[in-house]
Amino acid sequence: MNALKKTLSLLTLAGLTAAFVPLYAQQATTAPANQPGARAGRGGRGGRGAPIPVDPKADARLKTQGNVGARVHDPSTIIECDGEYWTFYTGQGVGSWHSKDLTNWVAGPRVFAAAPAWVPENVPGHRGADFWAPDVAKIGDRYVLFYAASSFGKNTSAIGVAFNPTLNPAAPNFKWTDQGMVIKSGQGTDYNAIDPAIFQDTDKSLWLAFGSFWSGIRMIQLDPATCKRIKPDSPVYLLAHYSSIEAAYLYKHDGHYYLFMNWGACCRGTNSTYNIRVGRADKVTGPYLDKTGTDLRNGGGTLVLGTDGDFIGPGHAGIITKGGQEFMSMHFYDGARGGASELAIRPVSWSPDGWPIVGERK
């Protein structure tokens, strides 16, 4: 299965998964019927890839839909350091891209050369340093990156954390230092500890949302000093549930807490059905309700962004503010380039009743 996983990672970014994934999922999935199957094959190899001839009109349209041409899957929230914007993504060693203007992106260094020792001890089905769906934030005076390791088709998973005083690789103090495991799942738990999403509230309390399929999106409180669980037996809150749910992201706007998440299937190129949903709450722990008042724990979720022409299956939302304008980052599958997974960045505004609206770039 590891060979298949690596092959699918390459195929996703090359835009060739559409025909391959259904067979892969049928032959290799061991999870229950309503749990993730081919999801373990998330593409994540960075780089712009070989040029694919694209109709100029299709390319122009995709640029208005936010395409910036960087090959990523499961991008982290974008963060600024020393005048550059950074994002990290699924793949060997956790890759990165950086930009001065959110439009022109350059490949950056990887976080890990090898997997930390705790990973095979706690996730024996995981091989190498192919980590999933990282997220990054500045907590205090350091940059903190969360990442996930998992076993194919199971909830034997764990989330780890690493620190760096800077994201600038030219700085003399640039060095990622792994801090170990934050939380794990497996036998005895009904959730899946992947897709970490870090959130620091205005009172400096620190929270980690996570989860994929299984029992849905969960959340724990962290100690801001260590970025580990605040207590070994602290509550594991349930925020949202749906038959196909993952990729949580928490954001605070105008006194409300917003939980973004994905419904549908990723990693299938042009056949991907990912779409971004949202609910909001008055407390970080919920309950989160959608626009109709339906609790996200009961299947609620207002559509934010879905497939639109060659802009297919957007996922893993994050929001950054630049020059007073909020922007949402995400990956999508590029229908004009065979389903290659790429980074998109689009402006965000808010309706009079306080719901996010994702626009287009001019």
Residues labelled as active-site residues: 74, 246
Closest CA to 266 of 276, 281, 280: 276
Whether 302 contacts 355, CB under 8 Å? yes
Q: Which residues of 112-130 are buried (b: 16+ CB within 10 A; e: fewer)?
A: beebbebbeebbebbbbbb
Distances (CA, A) of 136 to 166, 198, 244: 12, 7, 24
In a 3-state reduction of DSSP, which class is residue 197? Answer: strand
Element (H, E) at 2: helix 2-14
Closest CA to 320 of 15, 75, 35: 75
For the chain, the straight-line distance linking the first and the last C-alpha, in angstroms and rounded, comes to 44
C-alpha–C-alpha distance, residues 147 and 160, integer Å = 5
C-alpha–C-alpha distance, residues 290 and 334, integer Å = 29
Question: Beta partners for 308?
Answer: 311
Take residue 280 and report the two structure tokens written for it.
């909001």
C-alpha–C-alpha distance, residues 273 and 154, integer Å = 21
